[in-house]
C-alpha cells in the first residue's frame, strides 16, 4: 500500500498526531533519500526537514541528498533503494527541472517507499501545478507544469491563504475543472495511504471552481 505525505511548512516541528502516523507508516528505516529543490546550491542540505523527523523519533541508518554533485545513475540507484523519499522545500521550478533532467519522476512513482514532500516538494509530487506571478513565482505568464503524479490531483502548498483566498481560487479554477486541488498553508498535511486521504490543519479542496474547507481526520 503506497503512502504519500503532502506537507506545508512547519513553524517548529511535526505535531504529535502527524509524528505518530509517520512513525506507523515508515517501518523500514534503512535509507532516507532527500531531493534538493536548489540542486546547484550545495548548502541546501535538508537540515530543517530532517530535524522534523528527528524530533518525531524517526531516525534512519543512512541519509542521502540528491543534487548535481551526484551522477544521474547514482541518484537513480539511491531512489530505487530508498526506504523513504523526501522532496525538500524551496524552489519548485528548479526541483521540477531537476527531477526531469535526472529521470527521477518515474522511479519515485514506481517506488514502494514512503514519499514525503514539503512545500515545493509537495507541489512537485502532485499531478499538475500552476506557476504564475499571482502565486508568487517570478514569471511573466502562467504555465501549467506536470508533477510526478503520485496521485491524481493538484497541490498548492504553503501559501498565504488568509490574505489571498479569492486570488488563489480564481487562478486555480481552470485547473480545478480538470482535477481536484488541495490547497494549504503552513503547519498542514495531506496524507494519502492507499485509497484513504487524511487531513491535518487548514486544508481546502478546490473542485470544479468551488472551494471548501476540509475536516481534519488526523
What is the spatial distance between Cα 214 and Cα 7, in angstroms, rounded to a whole number? 15
Cβ-count burial 109-130 (b if 16+ within 10 Å, e if not): eebebbbbbbbbbbbbbbbbbb
Percent of the chain surpassing pLDDT 70? 100
Would residue 213 be called left, alpha or beta, if left means φ above 0 and alpha means ψ between -120 and 50 degrees? beta
* Least confident range of 57-66, 155-164, 170-179, 199-208: 155-164
175 vs 169 pLDDT, higher one: 175
**Residues 40, 69: contact at Cβ < 8 Å?**
no
- Quote the cell numbers at residue 20: 505518530
pLDDT at 42 (0 to 100): 83
Average pLDDT rounded to a whole number, residues 7-21? 95
List of domains in the chain: 3-213 (3.40.50.880)
pLDDT at 158 (0 to 100): 84
**Residues 44, 36: contact at Cβ < 8 Å?**
yes
Amino acid at each position: 500500500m503506497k503512502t504519500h505525505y503532502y506537507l506545508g511548512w512547519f513553524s517548529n516541528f511535526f505535531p504529535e498526531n502527524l509524528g505518530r502516523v509517520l512513525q506507523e507508516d515508515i517501518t523500514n528505516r534503512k535509507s532516507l533519500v532527500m531531493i534538493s529543490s536548489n540542486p546547484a546550491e550545495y548548502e541546501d542540505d535538508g537540515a530543517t526537514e530532517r530535524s522534523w523527523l528527528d524530533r518525531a523519533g524517526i531516525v534512519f541508518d543512512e541519509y542521502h541528498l540528491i543534487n548535481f554533485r551526484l551522477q544521474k545513475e547514482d541518484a537513480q540507484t539511491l531512489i530505487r533503494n530508498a526506504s523513504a523519499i523526501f522532496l525538500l522545500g524551496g524552489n519548485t521550478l528548479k526541483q521540477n527541472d531537476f527531477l526531469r533532467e535526472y529521470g527521477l519522476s518515474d522511479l519515485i512513482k514506481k517506488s514502494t517507499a514512503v514519499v514525503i514532500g514539503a512545500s515545493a516538494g509537495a507541489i512537485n509530487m502532485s499531478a499538475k501545478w500552476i506557476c504564475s506571478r499571482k502565486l508568487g513565482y517570478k514569471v511573466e505568464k502562467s504555465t501549467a507544469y506536470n508533477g510526478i503524479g503520485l496521485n491524481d490531483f493538484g497541490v498548492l502548498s504553503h501559501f498565504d491563504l488568509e490574505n489571498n483566498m479569492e486570488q488563489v481560487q480564481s487562478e486555480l479554477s481552470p485547473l480545478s475543472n480538470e482535477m481536484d486541488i488541495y490547497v494549504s498553508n503552513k503547519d498542514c498535511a495531506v496524507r494519502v495511504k492507499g485509497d484513504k486521504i487524511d487531513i491535518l490543519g487548514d486544508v481546502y479542496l478546490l473542485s470544479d471552481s468551488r472551494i471548501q474547507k476540509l475536516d481534519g481526520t488526523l
